[in-house]
Amino acid sequence: MEKAKFDGFINRYNLGGEVESVMVKSEASNLSVRMISDDKTLLGDVTVTGSDFPEGEFGIYTTSQLKGLLSVLDNTIKVEEVTGALKFSDKGTKMQYMLAAPSVIPAVPDLKALPPFNVDITLDNEFVNKFIKSKGALADADTFTFECKGGKGEIILGYSSINSNRISISVDCKCEGDVAPIAFSAKYLKAILLANKGSSTSSLQISSQGLSKVAFTEGEYVSNYYLVEIK
């Protein structure tokens, strides 16, 4: 297995350290994971096809530690399941990562009935780069706010009902009428955009009922993230 493929899978769910504990499922040459953040405002799933990985479900408790162990290996690796652990090796080096019991991994609820999404925003490279820079400039901005008036949509960092330091980014969007300001986590969106930068297909959908979906497809990777409204 190419280590770069596994690294890409990890980076898409770990989101720069925002999600550490997950159950990884391997089935029919596909790796998949469902995740939830500690504060329960981010959920998601990531899948990569064509992986050479032992079949089963594996509890990863501390992803950052797994990433550190993998960093010592060359790019072509072999992955084996041993009792209570995964063993990774290249031509001259072996390393072992101890697995966690499913009971200590946060349970991810099923999203059975998604609300209708009444906003569809184009995520092009210009927006991605601008949002990442804007979040860096306003590091204390916990949320990004979307609003649409007269068919013109904006994503705002630092939004407030009173005067404030803020950055407003015009976005190419399709909205069903005017949309009142609705806010979601800015740090999670930044982490999501960084982890999926350069994806060939990407979109951001928002429901006025309090949920947004960020979706990406890039080669063998498919990533979906759901952000819960922050009030």
176: helix, coil or strand? coil
CA atoms of 62 and 22, how far apart (whole Å): 9
- CATH number of 3-104, picked from 1.20.1340.10, 3.40.50.300, 3.10.150.10, 3.30.70.260: 3.10.150.10
Answer whether 3-104 and 119-228 agree in fold. Answer: yes
pLDDT at residue 80 is higher than 90: yes
Confidence at residue 176, expressed as pLDDT on a 0 to 100 scale:
85
Q: Give which of 65, 52, 64, 55 is closest to 6, Cα–Cα.
A: 52
Q: Which pair of structure tokens corresponds to residue 197?
A: 């930068």
Tell me the pLDDT tens digit for each residue of 213-228. Answer: 999 999 999 999 999 9
Angle at 133 between CA 231 and CA 130, to 5 degrees: 85
- The DSSP call for residue 41 is S
pLDDT at residue 81 is higher than 90: yes
**pTM metric for this prediction:** 0.95
What does the buried/exposed string (b/e) look like for 84-123 if buried means 16 or more CB atoms within 10 Å of the residue's CB?
Answer: eebebeeeeeebebebbeeeebeeeeeeeeeeebbbbbeb
Tell me the pLDDT tens digit for each residue of 1-35. Answer: 999 999 999 999 999 999 999 999 999 999 999 99
- Say if residues 62 and 209 touch (Cβ distance below 8 Å): no
Into which CATH architecture does domain 119-228 fall?
Roll (3.10)
Q: Which pair of structure tokens corresponds to residue 5?
A: 């493929």
Domain ranges within the chain, ordered by starting residue = 3-104, 119-228
